[in-house]
């Protein structure tokens, strides 16, 4: 990367803020799911009513492996993790790679954020049309995912004119 290329201040602040919020939401989602599994009477702060219940969503079959992994692997497979674990990994990678100024990192950030948007749209449709629920934590992560995608697209566009260092 050219010595003059730097991550703009707005992008660094936006990325760190979005990733921290995403991580906090994902950790909270994992906490709710594990608490509900241990104690079926557990009531999360995000459980506001019958049709507004994040614990109902997190403990549904779509709360693990997007509800898809179980079709290909046993339900207790190591790869059938709670979606919140995937969120923790995603936001951690977005944060770490987002502090790296390279075209490869930018391409991975854009690709992975588009995958997160596709996952958000899929899970939002499950939320509304299958579960008939509204999950504040889920919708908040969808917003974070869309905002990260915007940030990553701006990064990629900003790097188009910058030449990579050779050697």
Domain locations in the chain? 9-159
Read off the pTM: 0.87
Question: Packing angle between helix 83-98 and helix 103-125, nearest 10 degrees?
Answer: 150
Per-residue pLDDT of the chain (167 residues; tens, 9 = 90+): 443 468 888 989 999 999 999 999 999 999 999 999 999 999 999 999 888 999 999 999 999 888 888 888 887 888 889 999 999 999 999 999 998 888 899 899 999 999 999 999 999 999 999 999 999 999 999 999 999 999 999 887 766 655 554 44
Per-residue model confidence (pLDDT) at position 143 = 98
Per-residue model confidence (pLDDT) at position 78 = 82
Per-residue model confidence (pLDDT) at position 5 = 67
Per-residue model confidence (pLDDT) at position 163 = 55
Of the options 3.40.1280.10, 1.10.3720.10, 3.40.50.300, 1.20.1440.130, the CATH number for the domain spanning 9-159: 1.20.1440.130
Per-residue model confidence (pLDDT) at position 1 = 42
Which three-class secondary structure string do you get for the chain? CCCCCCCCHHHHHHHHHHHHHHHHHHHHHHHHHHHHHHCCCCCCCCEEECCEEHHHHHCCHHHEHHHCHHHCCCCCCCCCCEHHHHHHHHHHHHHHHHCCCCHHHHHHHHHHHHHHHHHHHHHHHHHHHHCCCCCHHHHHHHHHHHHHHHHHHHHHHHHCCCCCCCC
């Amino acid at each position: 990367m050219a010595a003059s290329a730097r991550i703009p201040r707005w992008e660094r602040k936006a990325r760190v803020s979005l990733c921290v919020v995403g991580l906090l939401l994902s950790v909270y989602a994992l906490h709710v799911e594990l608490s509900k599994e241990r104690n079926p009477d557990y009531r999360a702060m995000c459980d506001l009513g019958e049709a507004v219940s994040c614990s109902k969503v997190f403990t549904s079959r779509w709360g693990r492996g997007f509800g898809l992994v179980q079709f290909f692997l046993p339900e207790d497979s190591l790869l059938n993790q709670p979606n919140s674990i995937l969120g923790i990994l995603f936001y951690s990678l977005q944060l770490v790679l987002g502090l790296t100024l390279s075209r490869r990192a930018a391409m991975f950030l854009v690709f992975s954020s588009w995958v997160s948007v596709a996952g958000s749209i899929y899970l939002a449709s499950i939320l509304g049309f299958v579960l008939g629920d509204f999950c504040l934590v889920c919708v908040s992560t969808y917003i974070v995912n869309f905002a990260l995608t915007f940030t990553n697209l701006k990064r990629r566009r900003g790097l188009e004119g910058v030449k990579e260092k050779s050697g």
